[in-house]
Copies of this chain bind each other. A is one copy, B any other.
Amino acid sequence: MAFENYTIKDIAKALNLSTSTVSRALRDSYEISAETKKLVLAYAEKINYRANPIARSLKERKSYSIGIIVSEIANNFFSQVIDGIESVAYAKNYQVVISQTHESSERERLNVEHLYSRSTDGLLMALSAETIDSSYLEELMKKGFPIVFFDRVPGQIKSHKVIADNRQGGFEAVQYLAKKGRRKIAHLTGAKKLSITAERLEGYKMALLANGLDFSPALVKYCEYGGLHQAEIEKAVAELAEEDYDAIFISGDKLTTGYLQAMKDRPEADVNSILIAGFTNSKVVNIFSPTITAIRQPAFEMGKKAAELLIQQIESKYAVDEFETIVLPTTLIERE
C-alpha cells in the first residue's frame, strides 16, 4: 500500500529497537551499525514508511519549503520564472508555496507574514508595483530570514538579487527602432518607483542619445499598476496619440499586450505607422497582430538562479553577508 501512515514508533516496535535508533538509522547516522541500518531501511521500505514532515519541521525549525511572491501567476514572465524555481526546488526536495500580490503592497505584506509564520525557510520575491516601504523585509532579513529578490528588486536592501539586464534590453529595443529610421520613439512603462522601470528608462535614454535623438518627457507614459488594469493603458495610449510618434518601446508583458489591444480601437493607418518593440515573455508573440519585436527576459534562468541562491543561503552554516547581484542578458527577437 502506497500511502500508509506509519511512524518511527511502528518501526521501532516491529524491530525491537528504540525510536532513536530508528531515527538515526533512517538518517544514516555514523553511530548505527551497518546491520541495523539495513534492517531498518528494509523494513521502512517494506511498509512504505514516510517521515512526517510536519513533526520534522517542528523539531528542526525548518520546513523544506520556500515561498514565492509575485504579482500575478497569469503572466508569462512570472509563470516561467516559477517554472525555473520549481525545477531546482524539486531537485533539492523543497516544496514551493506560491502567492500573489495583485500589485497590492498590503497583500504583499500579508503574504510575507503568512509565509514567514508558516515557517517557509526563505522567500523568493518580486516587489509589487505599489510597494514603497520595504523596511519590514529588511527587519525580517536581519532576523536571519533569507529573501532573494528577482526582477523587481529593492534598491538599498542587502540581499541576493537576480535581474535581467534591463538597461541593455531597453537600449537594444530602442536602438533597433532607431536603426529602422524612427525618430520619435515613445516609451510606455510601469510603476515609476520600480527598479525595472528606472533601468529600462535608462536604456531608452542611452539609445536616444546614441542615435542623436532628443529625449522628450511627453513621450514617456507611466502605468502605475503595470497594465494590470487595461484602463491605465487606454489612457496612456490616448495621451500618446496626441504626440504623433512613429515607434514605441514598451516595458512589460502586460503592457505590451495591453498596448496592442488598445490599438485595436484606433485607425488602422495609425497602427501601421508605428513600429513596436516591447518586453514580453509570451510564447506566442509570432501570432500577435500587429507584428512586434520582442525583448525576452531569461525567465526560467532567473528562477533557477534565484532559487539556487536562496537554497544555498538557507543551507549555509553561517550567516551570509556577501550578497550577489546576478544580471542576466535579455534577447531581442526581431519580427517583421
Contacts and interface: CB of A to CB of B under 8 A. Distances in A.
Interface of A: 1-3, 50-55, 57-58, 63, 65, 73-74, 76, 79-80, 82-83, 86, 95-100, 113-114, 116-119, 136, 139-140, 143, 145, 257, 260-261, 264, 283-284, 286-289
Nearest 3 Cβ contacts at the A-B interface: A289-B289, A74-B79, A50-B117
A55 B52 contact: no
A97 B95 CA distance: 8
Contacts of A73: 73, 79, 82-83
Contact of A289 (B50, B83, B97, B287): B287
A119 B79 contact: no
B288 A260 contact: no
Contacts of A139: 1-3
Contacts of A257: 283-284, 287
A3 B53 contact: no
Given A73-B79, A119-B52, A97 B100 contact: no
A144 to B, nearest CB: 11
A80 B51 CA distance: 34
